[in-house]
C-alpha cells in the first residue's frame, strides 16, 4: 500500500496537508469516471442578466450567508 507521503502532490503542497494523515481512501466497489470525447470542450454559457431588484436580493442573501459563516 503506497504511503500518502509518496504522492507528488503532497510533497509539492506540503504546507496545506497535515503532518499526520489517516491514509489513502479505501478501494471502492464502484469506480466512477467521466469519459471525455477527444477534442471536445466544456459548454460555456454567459451569465444571464438579472433585473436590478433581483440582483439586489441576490446580493443581500449572499451577504447574509457570508455573515453566518457560509
11-34: b or e for each residue (b if 16 or more CB lie within 10 Å)? eeeeeeeeeeeeeeeeeeeeeeee
pTM of the predicted model as reported, rounded to 2 decimal places: 0.35
Q: Is the dihedral of CA 7, 16, 62, 55 positive or negative?
A: negative
- Report whether pLDDT(66) > 90: yes
Structure-block grid coordinates of residue 58: 441576490
Looking at residue 1, its pLDDT comes to 65
Sign of CA pseudo-dihedral 25, 26, 29, 35? positive
Domain boundaries, the chain: 1-22+49-69
CA distance 55 to 61: 10
Render pLDDT for 3-62 as a digit per residue (tens, 0 to 9).
777 788 888 888 887 777 677 778 888 888 888 899 988 888 888 889 999 999 999 999
Amino acid at each position: 500500500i503506497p504511503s500518502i507521503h509518496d504522492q507528488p502532490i503532497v510533497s509539492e503542497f506540503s504546507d496545506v496537508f497535515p503532518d499526520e494523515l489517516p491514509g489513502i481512501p479505501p478501494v471502492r466497489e464502484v469506480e466512477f469516471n467521466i469519459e471525455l470525447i477527444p477534442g471536445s470542450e466544456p459548454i460555456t454559457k454567459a451569465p444571464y442578466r438579472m433585473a436590478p431588484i433581483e440582483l439586489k436580493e441576490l446580493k443581500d442573501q449572499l451577504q447574509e450567508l457570508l455573515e453566518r459563516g457560509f
